[in-house]
Structure 1
Amino acid sequence: MADTIGMLRPRTEVWPSLRAAGTWALRFDTFPHVRIGGLVRGSCWLILEGHEPVLLEEGDTFLLGNPPPFVLAGTLDASPRPAERVWAAVDNGSVRIGPESEEDLHLCIGHIAFDDRNAALLTDLLPPLVIVRESDPHGRRLAQLIDLLATEVGAAAAGGPLVQSHLAQILLVHMLRAHAAQTDRPTGWLGALNEDGIGSALRAVHADVAHPWSLKELAEISHMSRSAFAQAFKRHVGVPPLEYLIHWRMSLARDALARDALSISELAQATGYLSESAFSTAFRRVVGSSPAQFRSQARQPRAAAIGN
């Protein structure tokens, strides 16, 4: 999980806390790739397009993957107004709705964006909405993280943005763990990490991506027969083992090419290919362009940014 999230280059922004009283509703626009938040105190409704309204209560946390527009509201009959306008009026690290003396809600929310080139590694595994109740086995830990995050947002202390960013990413990891544990749907590599045999194979692949892995070798690591391993891997991850290996190698290659970190021949060797031509063929098949074309296209936005 750390390998994948690190390669996604997460960029976090934690908004000032919301403190509200009375009748209120806020509409949030679409945002790639993840919105995340939780209730420090009180309760409110989360209304996501295409879903039934959900009542969030104190200590609950939520995650929205590539969410469509959604509404947070004190009551279901309140008329929503744009959230960004409300957050434009920040007061001592918080935004307020209604009289301060009557506040009965304290909510912390932020968003996390990833490098678009590899964002699908995570966002394709997420449903539009994940809720972890405080009563969930993971819930208390998440509630404590939300409380720490809200405290840090309101402190205006030195290094605050750095601490907030790290706390938000820790919150994301714990939300992903909770989601993988609470769903009976396939969750790709995310859920497979919790499976003893399949998880061992995945960790081995991630630890040494240049190794010439075979189905037989991965099955032995998982203490399973080749046929049982192949079936279990596809059931949990969604693709056959060697196809997963190729796509993981190409994800690493896209990241390295975008950062211009290695030459193409060095990258071929680092990702387990015996020749630059074999690597280029695999890259074109998965990505749709040659490594050189991909690197050239990735350089253009960087050059434009430097020029500005």
Structure 2
Amino acid sequence: MGLGINPPSYVLASTLDASPRPAELLWKGAEAGVVRIGPEPAEDTYLCSGHLAFDDANACILTDLLPPLVIVRVADPRGRQLAQLIDLLATEVEATDAGGPLVQNHLAQVLLVHMLRAHARQTDQPIGWMGALNHDGIGAALRAMHADVARSWTVGELAGVSHMSRSAFAQAFKDQVGTSPLEYLIQWRMRLARDALTRDTLSISELARATGYLSESAFSTAFRRVVGSSPRSFRDGARVSASNRPGPQD
């Protein structure tokens, strides 16, 4: 499964000396979304492609931690589960039953989670929050911050949650997550703020309180430092983008 934004090009071939053909030309001859290569009924390989879309501002939370390609082999216990999910997803795509898009979206999300689990099993020590969540101490601190993002956390309090000394916790957190605990908290708050401003669900003053800032001014300063624009400008830009999106067609 390929991951990331603008993934690199690749070639699929039955043998190393086969001459590749542009995939675009093959897809032009697709029937019901299926491309057949070679004489029938010799079909020993089945490829299923699709994509998951992430919010551009927050996609890096996941894609920065992952390689451009994850391979799950048949011998991997996760391989059978992924195959079952793909079969279910393919069935839903072909079906016309009520609620099809909803089921497809949820199956795609479950498929992604199982793929991430497979990748974690292949990696001795996953990096970033993906690996840190599996660490009893650092994972406890991350979950505490996520559960109460408005709290004025100190490194000492987070170290206590992790049952570690302050210095050991700070070093372990940076080693595993890649940044300091309080900088991570700020980045996480700003990701939540971007999402709320894009959805236009809270006023800026309400959002400031929800993300742990005593004043709108303090929140705006932190937001500008991380995002590069004021919360008001970001929200106005999101409103313009939303108004320019095509609505549902009759």
TM-score with structure 1 length normalisation? Answer: 0.74
1:248 is matched with which residue?
Answer: 188
Larger helix percent:
2
The amino acid across from 2:199 in the alignment is R
The amino acid across from 1:133 in the alignment is R
The amino acid across from 2:4 in the alignment is G
1:64 is matched with which residue?
Answer: 3
2:139 is matched with which residue?
Answer: 199
3-state SS of 2:41 partner: helix
Instruction: Give the whole-Å Cα distance in 2 for the aligned partners of 1:117 and 1:284.
Output: 14
1:120 is matched with which residue?
Answer: 60
Cα deviation per residue 1:232-279 (whole Å; 9 max; x = unaligned)?
A: 111111111111000000000011111111110000001011111110
Correspondence list, 1:99-178, <5 A? 99-178=39-118
Shift of 1:133: 1.8
Structure 1 residues 164, 98: closer, same or farther in 2, change over 3 A?
A: farther
2:179 is matched with which residue?
Answer: 239
Count of equivalent residues: 247
Q: Does 1:228 align with 2:168?
A: yes
Instruction: Give the whole-Å Cα distance in 1 for the aligned partners of 2:212 and 2:196.
Output: 14
Shift of 1:186: 4.8
Cα RMSD for the two superposed structures = 2.2
Instruction: Give the whole-Å Cα distance in 1 for the aligned partners of 2:151 and 2:92.
Output: 43
Gaps of 5+ in 1: 1-61
Residue number among 198, 223, 227 corresponding to 1:283 in the alignment = 223
Cα deviation per residue 1:182-218 (whole Å; 9 max; x = unaligned)?
A: 2235521111111111111111111111111111111
Shift of 1:111: 1.1
Using CA pairs below 8 Å that are at least 6 residues apart, which structure has the higher relative contact order?
1
Structure 1 residues 229, 137: closer, same or farther in 2, change over 3 A?
A: farther
The amino acid across from 1:189 in the alignment is W
Shift of 1:224: 0.9
Identity of aligned residues (%): 73
Structure 1 residues 87, 161: closer, same or farther in 2, change over 3 A?
A: farther
The amino acid across from 1:281 in the alignment is T
Gaps of 5+ in 2: none
Structure 1 residues 94, 159: closer, same or farther in 2, change over 3 A?
A: farther
Instruction: Give the whole-Å Cα distance in 2 for the aligned partners of 1:134 and 1:202.
Output: 34
2:127 is matched with which residue?
Answer: 187
The amino acid across from 1:223 in the alignment is H
Shift of 1:153: 3.5
Instruction: Give the whole-Å Cα distance in 1 for the aligned partners of 2:169 and 2:80.
Output: 35
Shift of 1:94: 2.7
1:257 is matched with which residue?
Answer: 197
Instruction: Give the whole-Å Cα distance in 2 for the aligned partners of 1:205 and 1:128.
Output: 29
3-state SS of 1:246 partner: helix
| Contact 1:92–1:154 under 8 Å retained in 2 | no
The amino acid across from 2:200 in the alignment is D
3-state SS of 2:31 partner: coil
Shift of 1:89: 3.6
Instruction: Give the whole-Å Cα distance in 2 for the aligned partners of 1:116 and 1:81.
Output: 32
Shift of 1:229: 1.0
Instruction: Give the whole-Å Cα distance in 1 for the aligned partners of 2:30 and 2:77.
Output: 35
TM-score with structure 2 length normalisation? Answer: 0.89
Shift of 1:93: 5.1
Larger strand percent:
1
| Contact 2:125–2:131 under 8 Å retained in 1 | no
Instruction: Give the whole-Å Cα distance in 1 for the aligned partners of 2:120 and 2:215.
Output: 38
Instruction: Give the whole-Å Cα distance in 1 for the aligned partners of 2:19 and 2:97.
Output: 36
The amino acid across from 1:64 in the alignment is L
Instruction: Give the whole-Å Cα distance in 1 for the aligned partners of 2:169 and 2:191.
Output: 23
Cα deviation per residue 1:134-167 (whole Å; 9 max; x = unaligned)?
A: 3224333223222322333444544433322221
Structure 1 residues 278, 199: closer, same or farther in 2, change over 3 A?
A: same
Shift of 1:92: 4.4
1:292 is matched with which residue?
Answer: 232
Instruction: Give the whole-Å Cα distance in 2 for the aligned partners of 1:138 and 1:276.
Output: 47
